[in-house]
Amino acid sequence: MEHINIYSGKKAISRIVTSDSIKGLGACLEPFRSIFAVIDKNIPVNSQLMEILKAKNVRIKYIVPSEEDKTLETVMDICSWLLENGADRDAMILAVGGGITTDMTGFAACIYKRGVRFGYVPTTLLSQVDAAIGGKTGVNFEKYKNILGIIRQPAFTYICPQVLESLPKRDFLSGVAELLKTFMIEDNGNYQKAADLFFDIQSEFHLEVMMYGKDEKTQWRELLKKHRKTLTALIAAAANIKAGVVSRDQFEKGERRKLNLGHTFAHAIETLAQQRGMDITHGEAVSMGIIMAAELAERLGVSQPETINVVAGLAKRLEADFRACGLPIDCPFSIDEMADCMKKDKKAEGGKVHFILPQAIGDVVIVDLTVQQVVELMNAI
């Protein structure tokens, strides 16, 4: 078990616990007398996690998380439930689920009775390495994603890869993109360790399923179980990096923007996919977006030649790594099609967007560019 703190100045304001077992959650909940949990309906009822919550007499509200219902109405519904059940200012509001569940429940806790304590048990890889760390809460509004919200830190986040073993492979891989993204911002040798791990998992999975005809779901679960310790260490390393960035720049005035690596492209991809009825997850869009950011960095002359493969460059190395990990790399839209969505990026300032560009693994820079400049650079032969 590892403990990581998020600081405001010298004061620890949020604690992240990483563990390869869910059992430690009980100790985390120990100080709280009155706990109200908002839980993703997809969490298996007979899981160890639910046993722990039942033993603590936690009151439970289930939600079915979706981007469409990530709204103020759902937040008000959570607040009504808290009121009806007598949650007072001493209550601990627990969110158990992926990013949509933690974002909305965190937001409800921030405004209920002008703010009560809250904690997270993220149950997707994506939320374990990104969404549940750093205190961004909020909802979608008027077609904009996460446009209403507050940055406030949860009292604790309990991160346990054991709960990921019931996650569908595609959802799991969505989080792999965010994990690799984190190590591209700060490496310490973890990028290669993660790329190797997911390559091994993919290879073993294909061997067992294609060659020996094993059941996909069972095989995936077994592989995650087999590699749980390595995965826990990588998730803890990513949480550590994000906690450091957030401690230095909680309100995203500078360094925290680096965590948006690939995201300006990704948000455009997600918007177009939604408009055209295509099924692309956030992590898949991030994977494609990071490759595009690496290409842009090369075209701007920002990225250094790759020492491993000087001829190919960073973008080609990332393409090979991401593909080997099972991530999609080819964006189905042209940069011209994406331009309009990128102009509407909510983080754009004075006509320019903060593009995060990788110089090398573990080293990214923030470059302010107009969308027009990006379109011209990406279209240049």
Using CB under 6 A as the binding rule, the residues of this chain from 252 to 291 that contact ligand GLY are 256, 259
Closest distance of CB 250 from ligand GLY, Å = 10
Angle between helices 263-275 and 282-300 (to 10 degrees): 130
Give the chain's length: 381
Under the binding rule (CB under 6 A), the answer on residue 136 touching ligand GLY is yes
User: Least distance in Å: CB of 90 to ligand GLY?
Assistant: 28
Joined together, the tokens standing for residue 107 give 């937001």
Active site residue 282: yes
Q: Which helix (H) or strand (E) holds 218?
A: helix 216-226
2 is catalytic: no
Please indicate whether residue 136 is annotated as part of the active site: yes
Q: How far is the CB of 212 from ligand GLY (least distance, A)?
A: 39
Quick one: which segment of 4-12, 129-137, 295-303, 354-362 binds ligand GLY (CB under 6 A)?
129-137
Between the alpha carbon of residue 210 and those of residues 147, 152, 253, the distances in Å are 44, 46, 48
Which CB atom, from 8 or from 203, has the smaller least distance to ligand GLY? 8
Calculate the alpha carbon distances from 334 to 53, 74, 340, 348 in Å.
Answer: 48, 35, 12, 21
**Of residues 212 and 251, the one with the C-beta less far from ligand GLY:** 251
In this complex, which beta carbon is closest to ligand GLY, that of residue 6 or of residue 296? 6
- DSSP H helices, the chain, are 25-29, 48-55, 72-84, 99-111, 125-126, 169-185, 190-206, 216-226, 228-248, 263-275, 282-300, 313-324, 335-343, 371-379
Give the residue, chosen from 106, 122, 134, 283, that forms a contact with ligand GLY under the rule CB under 6 A. Answer: 134
Annotated catalytic residue 41: no
The residue to which tokens 């993109």 are assigned: 177
First to last CA, the chain: 51
Measured between alpha carbons, how far is 23 from 34 in angstroms, rounded to an integer? 20
Give 12's Cβ-side CA count (13 Å radius).
8
Closest approach of ligand GLY to the CB of residue 256, in Å: 5
Of 25-33, 130-138, 139-147, 274-282, the window that binds ligand GLY (rule: CB under 6 A) is 130-138
Closer residue to ligand GLY (CB): 257 or 317: 257
Q: Which residues are catalytic?
A: 114, 136, 178, 242, 252, 256, 260, 263, 267, 282
Q: Which residues lie near ligand GLY (CB under 6 A)?
A: 130, 134, 136, 256, 259
